[in-house]
Amino acid sequence: MTDPDVSLEHSAGKTLERPRVLSGMRPTGRLHLGNYMGALYNWVKLQHEYECYFFIADWHALTTDYADPSRLKQNVYDLALDFLAGGLDPDHCTIFVQSHVPQHAELNLLFSMFTPLSLLERVPTYKDQQEQLREKDLATYGFLGYPLLQSADILLYKPDYVPVGQDQESHVELTREVARKFNFLYGPKGTPSVTPDNNSFNQNDVDYARNIDDLLHTRTILPDPQVLLTPSPKLPGIDGRKMSKSYGNAILMTDPFSVVMEKTHSMSNGGQRPTQYDPGNPEICPVGDLHRIFSEPSVDAHIRTGCLTATIRCDECKHLLGSAIGSKTHGILDRRLRLEEDPDRVWGILEEGTRNATRRAEETMREIRNVTGLSRDRSGVRVATPTYGPGSQTNVRDLTIMKAWWDLDSPTLLRNMREQWRADLVPTETALKKDTEGVWLTRNNRRVFSTASTEHEGVDGLWKFSVKPKSYEILVLLCWGKDFLMHDFVVPQKLYVSQWTAAKKAAGKNDILFSVEREDGRYALRLPLSEAIDITATESDYAILGT
């Protein structure tokens, strides 16, 4: 007989999930057609095929606009509106604001510990942008760290793919190097003993770490995300230069039709056709470039021959372009206007997205805090009076100061032990709710039963338990003895469910009597009438309680 919850756990395996995608955009005002075609248009398609996370990178905006944050929040809101108007659907993807998930900053800080300055100085966008934005002082720590923050953005969600334009490829490349270095430093043991060169990520070290990883089939902590290069067609602005907000030559995704018409009519034709009797070349005309992207093939063909043979006038050609763009954008504008009337809905979508993203991000951070010595529980901290064999200090909890408990009656002692466990051993971010005595509920309503061994004077390494014949999703076994030291095992149902079912049947109305035994540094759960179950790995493992 299988327990429904156990089979659920199996179906949550990564193999059954869709590949994950993450990308972000800085909030710099309303999106223009270049932004739309270069990113959002592609994201909208991806959301149906992948598990997608899309966010608004407000911290990244501050790296260059720190001196004037007055428009930042408005820009964030505007970008959220544009995301939704452009077709991102909160039922199909997670949309959130970067700074609302502070785990991004936490991971950025951790990465900064081992990222050599020289590596960041070598990222090509660093110098390029400094030169292009000369009016701003970008000789800052934050701006140098721009691509490292981006690495944190990405790796926090462990995506398979990162859809970006070519200008961002170097940042994803850095991300992959950061991930490898992280895995090298903190990944599962068995990695080589050579220490990586401190001034750069030495390629040999990195390759070695990766190969060893493959060889040992160990699970690396951070993935190796791939760029999903967004095809970005040549998209000129109305003056013929690349469409860009700072050139003031952009057609917005949500320009009203009349404005689109006005803008297309004022477009440069590349200085061709001195008179309308002269033929032109649509291949070197910005109007021709935009036709190719936005017009139906028949219209596109019509203006091309018309231009080459001087049988179409430029204003007619521009008019056709305005109509083509308008027919593609009017739905977007419509949606934007409707959303503007419902700000509660928009903020609600961001809040929901933040919750979703936080859950995913926190999952990664727990893992990362664990391997960097920053987890919030007490495991691994040496206690004052280690009396067990070598190495046994880790995970042993010291109850010496609670000595007085030993004179209490056993129900009170048990109650104290449970409360102590809840207060001191369960990581603070685990939101356990007390249900009935001994029973706690996790955030997703799994029943946790915690109980302590029964004998004051038990033999060390043999702890006896007596438990009502009921079912629990997670069994917490607090093993303590006359030496005042305690071991805590957090045992998921799937480990013991069949033996438990048999024991329950045999016990009838009586308590199930069982024990935990230590042998050679391993711990076994021994239920009546069955083989011992190794529970060593469950010691102090609170990850399964969730957050």
Cα–Cα dist 54/24, whole Å: 5
Identify which of residues 164 and 333 has a Cβ nearer to ligand TRP in the complex. 164
Question: Which residue matches tokens 């006359």?
Answer: 482
Identify which of residues 25 and 285 has a Cβ nearer to ligand TRP in the complex. 25
Candidates 19-27, 253-261, 414-422, 508-516; binding stretch for ligand TRP (CB under 6 A): 19-27
- The tokens of 361 are what? 């991000």
Phi, psi dihedrals of residue 408, rounded to the nearest 5°? -80, 160
Of positions 20, 21, 23, 525, contacts ligand TRP by CB under 6 A: 23
**How many residues contact ligand TRP, by CB under 6 A?**
13
**Contacts of ligand TRP in 25-84 (CB under 6 A):** 25-26, 57, 60
Pairing verdict, β 433-434 and 439-441: antiparallel
Identify which of residues 24 and 240 has a Cβ nearer to ligand TRP in the complex. 24
Determine the residue with CB nearest ligand TRP. Answer: 24
154 binds ligand TRP (CB under 6 A): yes
CB of 58 to ligand TRP, least distance (A): 10
CB of 182 to ligand TRP, least distance (A): 17
CB of 31 to ligand TRP, least distance (A): 12
Q: Which amino acid appears at position 163 of this protein?
A: P
**Contacts of ligand TRP in 501-540 (CB under 6 A):** none
CB of 119 to ligand TRP, least distance (A): 17
CB of 483 to ligand TRP, least distance (A): 52
318 binds ligand TRP (CB under 6 A): no
Candidates 23-31, 372-380, 404-412, 534-542; binding stretch for ligand TRP (CB under 6 A): 23-31
CA distances from 294 to 122, 260, 297, 321, 352 (A): 38, 13, 9, 8, 34
Question: Which residue matches tokens 């996370």?
Answer: 53
Of positions 44, 156, 164, 467, contacts ligand TRP by CB under 6 A: 164
Pairing verdict, β 439-441 and 462-467: unpaired
Of positions 153, 205, 255, 488, contacts ligand TRP by CB under 6 A: 153
Span between the terminal Cα atoms of the chain, in Å: 29
Identify which of residues 60 and 366 has a Cβ nearer to ligand TRP in the complex. 60
Judge contact between 147 and 59, C-beta under 8 A: no
CA distances from 160 to 53, 156, 223, 224, 474 (A): 12, 12, 8, 7, 32
Cα–Cα dist 332/84, whole Å: 9
Identify which of residues 165 and 458 has a Cβ nearer to ligand TRP in the complex. 165
93 binds ligand TRP (CB under 6 A): no
Candidates 146-154, 215-223, 237-245, 531-539; binding stretch for ligand TRP (CB under 6 A): 146-154
Identify which of residues 146 and 472 has a Cβ nearer to ligand TRP in the complex. 146
Cα–Cα dist 459/464, whole Å: 10
Cα–Cα dist 533/373, whole Å: 29
Cα–Cα dist 365/358, whole Å: 10
Give me the DSSP letters along 209-255.
Answer: HHHHHHHHT---SS--PEEEEPP----B-TTSSBP-GGGT-PPBTT-
Cα–Cα dist 273/214, whole Å: 63
Identify which of residues 72 and 485 has a Cβ nearer to ligand TRP in the complex. 72
CB of 37 to ligand TRP, least distance (A): 14
Of positions 24, 282, 286, 353, contacts ligand TRP by CB under 6 A: 24
| Per-residue binder mask for ligand TRP (CB under 6 A), 367-386, x = binder | --------------------
Give me the DSSP letters along 125-180.
Answer: HHHHHHHHTTTS---SHHHHTHHHHHHHHHHTT--SEEEE-GGGHHHHHHHHHHHH
Identify which of residues 157 and 523 has a Cβ nearer to ligand TRP in the complex. 157
Applying CB under 6 A, the residues found at the interface with ligand TRP are 22-26, 57, 60, 150, 153-154, 162, 164, 168
